[in-house]
């Protein structure tokens, strides 16, 4: 029996409740909140216990370093995020951090030092569930943080700059969080699959080939508020009815691609938001993803043109911006192969598959070669409190990650 999986599950479960959650009866841990601070403290302790020297960088990433045989050697970065979506599952993100800690704990217990250091990184913001930007903290590590994002505000009007200050860090120091190219040998992440493929193929682990590209469209319709009882239907400028039509258009266009593109609106804001007032202002955020850059671009263009038509016909004002645009990010071929070797050595099939979810590797790829290992999750369910991965599979994931580390030769990477 491979060890480590059960403790990783137990730790993810421990982080799923107060004080590590700001939500009553469920998990919600957004970046730089009290729950986030509590999680930092717990993870810091686990990293130190595993034999790492722990620091928090200027972008509030928690980083544990396990020195290699030669002090100061470049590091293999192993990480994931510890923020969550609202009403989240317990494994999306924290699991990758816990499994990294398990690997280091095992190496440390065996007194093993490698030709490279290992740094386990707990990123602060992958989900973008507090500020309207994602991958902020991994972008800082990769040296691609956009300083204009510091002015983004959360729902209470607190800017990211102020939240970082309140956390005891200075936004001015964020550039210093960037790794130098020669400090990072590669970045790898273990994550639950968040989809059904591994379960359907009866495989515990999968090697990720690429992380699919994504566009966010922030679509704002401006209509006119009015009395719900007195304004005749044909004289209305109802912003929500326009947004509803736009959402159905997005769904139809994505369905027509027969699986090549997916499009979702998971969040809308309606003002003034009263049952007896015609909606005057609606913001709908479209999340559009595809492994094909051209298919995604084509759908985005068609959708934007269609939305303009809807706004014209309904006499609505319209603003469309794209706060997030991430290209499909391939995983490094050598890293994939070493993961596949490690999985094969455990007697499992190294199934290769793409990731439909976004990951910190999309930012880290701007710094160094990246790779990911997926672990089967029950029913493929994620972004849902029902998320579950079994300890046995996670034990295998620890073994595969250790197998990868043993096979990793930084000098052979492109």
Interface residues toward ligand GLV, by CB under 6 A: 127, 357-358
Distance CA 258, CA 82 (A): 34
Query: Angle CA(69)–CA(50)–CA(400) in degrees, nearest 5?
Result: 75
Question: For residues 211 and 303, which CB has a smaller minimum distance to Mn ion in the complex?
Answer: 211
In a 13 Å sphere around the CA of 178, the CA atoms on its Cβ side amount to 18
How far from the centroid of its chain's Cα atoms is residue 74's Cα?
25
**Whole-number minimum distance, CB 218 to ligand GLV, in Å?**
15
Question: For residues 105 and 357, which CB has a smaller minimum distance to ligand GLV in the complex?
Answer: 357
Binding mask 38-77 for Mn ion (x = CB under 5 A): ----------------------------------------
**Whole-number minimum distance, CB 79 to ligand GLV, in Å?**
15
Q: Are strands 351-355 and 205-211 parallel, antiparallel or unpaired?
A: parallel
Q: If binding is defined by CB under 5 A, does position 93 make contact with Mn ion?
A: yes
Of ligand GLV, Mn ion, none, which one does residue 372 interact with (CB within 5 to 8 Å by kind)? none
Question: For residues 82 and 357, which CB has a smaller minimum distance to ligand GLV in the complex?
Answer: 357
Contact 240, 310 (CB under 8 A): no
Sheet strands (E) in 294-359: 317-326, 329-330, 351-355
Question: For residues 203 and 355, which CB has a smaller minimum distance to ligand GLV in the complex?
Answer: 355
Distance CA 272, CA 282 (A): 9
Q: Which helix (H) or strand (E) holds 205?
A: strand 205-211
The stretches of 172-238 forming alpha helices (DSSP H) are: 197-200
Of Mn ion, ligand GLV, none, which one does residue 93 interact with (CB within 5 to 8 Å by kind)? Mn ion
**Whole-number minimum distance, CB 60 to ligand GLV, in Å?**
19
**Whole-number minimum distance, CB 30 to Mn ion, in Å?**
12
**Whole-number minimum distance, CB 67 to Mn ion, in Å?**
28
Question: For residues 92 and 245, which CB has a smaller minimum distance to Mn ion in the complex?
Answer: 92
Question: For residues 138 and 336, which CB has a smaller minimum distance to ligand GLV in the complex?
Answer: 138
- Residues whose CB is less than 8 angstroms from the CB of residue 232 and which lie 6 or more positions away in sequence, other chains included: none
**Whole-number minimum distance, CB 92 to ligand GLV, in Å?**
6
Q: Tell me how far apart the terminal alpha carbons of the chain are, to the nearest angstrom.
A: 35
**Whole-number minimum distance, CB 325 to ligand GLV, in Å?**
14
Of ligand GLV, Mn ion, none, which one does residue 358 interact with (CB within 5 to 8 Å by kind)? ligand GLV
Q: If binding is defined by CB under 5 A, does position 92 make contact with Mn ion?
A: yes
Distance CA 145, CA 367 (A): 12
Of Mn ion, ligand GLV, none, which one does residue 57 interact with (CB within 5 to 8 Å by kind)? none
Of ligand GLV, Mn ion, none, which one does residue 154 interact with (CB within 5 to 8 Å by kind)? none
Q: Measured between alpha carbons, how far is residue 53 from residues 76, 81, 90, 119, 198 in Å?
A: 15, 19, 26, 9, 35
**Whole-number minimum distance, CB 179 to ligand GLV, in Å?**
22
How many CB atoms sit inside 10 A of residue 251's CB?
14
Binding mask 227-266 for Mn ion (x = CB under 5 A): ----------------------------------------
Distance CA 139, CA 152 (A): 16
Hey, what are 293's tokens?
């850059």
State the residues that interact with Mn ion by CB under 5 A.
92-93
């Amino acid at each position: 029996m491979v060890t480590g999986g059960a403790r990783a599950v137990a730790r993810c479960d421990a982080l799923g409740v107060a004080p590590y959650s700001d939500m009553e009866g469920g998990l919600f841990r957004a970046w730089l909140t009290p729950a986030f601070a509590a999680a930092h403290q717990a993870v810091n302790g686990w990293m130190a216990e595993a034999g790492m020297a722990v620091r928090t960088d200027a972008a509030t990433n928690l980083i544990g370093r396990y020195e290699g045989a030669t002090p100061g050697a470049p590091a293999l970065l192993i990480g994931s995020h510890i923020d969550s979506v609202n009403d989240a599952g317990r494994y999306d993100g924290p699991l990758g951090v816990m499994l990294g800690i398990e690997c280091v704990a095992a190496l440390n217990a065996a007194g093993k030092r490698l030709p490279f250091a290992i740094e386990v990184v707990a990123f602060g913001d992958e989900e973008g569930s507090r500020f309207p930007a994602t991958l902020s903290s991994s972008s800082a590590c990769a040296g691609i943080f956009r300083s204009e994002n510091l002015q983004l505000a959360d729902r209470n009007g607190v800017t990211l700059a102020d939240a970082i200050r309140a956390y005891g860090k200075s936004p001015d120091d964020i550039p210093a969080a960037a790794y130098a190219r020669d400090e990072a040998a590669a970045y790898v992440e273990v994550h639950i699959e968040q989809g059904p493929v591994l379960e359907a193929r009866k495989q515990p682990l999968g090697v990720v080939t690429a992380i699919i590209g994504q566009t966010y469209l922030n679509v704002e319709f401006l209509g006119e508020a009015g009395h719900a009882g007195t304004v005749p239907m044909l004289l209305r400028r109802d912003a929500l009815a326009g947004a509803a039509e736009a959402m159905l258009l997005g769904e139809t266009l994505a369905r027509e691609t027969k699986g090549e593109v997916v499009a979702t609106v998971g969040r809308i804001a309606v003002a003034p938001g009263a049952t007896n007032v015609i909606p005057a202002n609606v913001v709908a955020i479209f999340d559009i993803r595809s492994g094909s850059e051209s298919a995604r671009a084509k759908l985005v263009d068609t959708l934007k043109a269609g939305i303009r038509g809807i706004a014209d016909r309904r006499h609505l004002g319209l603003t469309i911006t794209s706060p997030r645009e991430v290209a499909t990010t391939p995983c490094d071929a050598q890293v994939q192969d070493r993961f596949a070797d490690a999985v094969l050595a455990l007697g499992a099939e190294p199934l290769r598959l793409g990731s439909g979810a976004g990951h910190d590797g999309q930012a880290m790829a701007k710094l160094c070669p990246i790779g990911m290992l997926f672990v089967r999750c029950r029913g493929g369910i994620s972004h849902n409190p029902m998320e579950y991965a079994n300890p046995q599979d996670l034990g295998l994931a620890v073994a595969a990650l250790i197998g990868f580390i043993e096979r990793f030769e930084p000098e052979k990477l492109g």
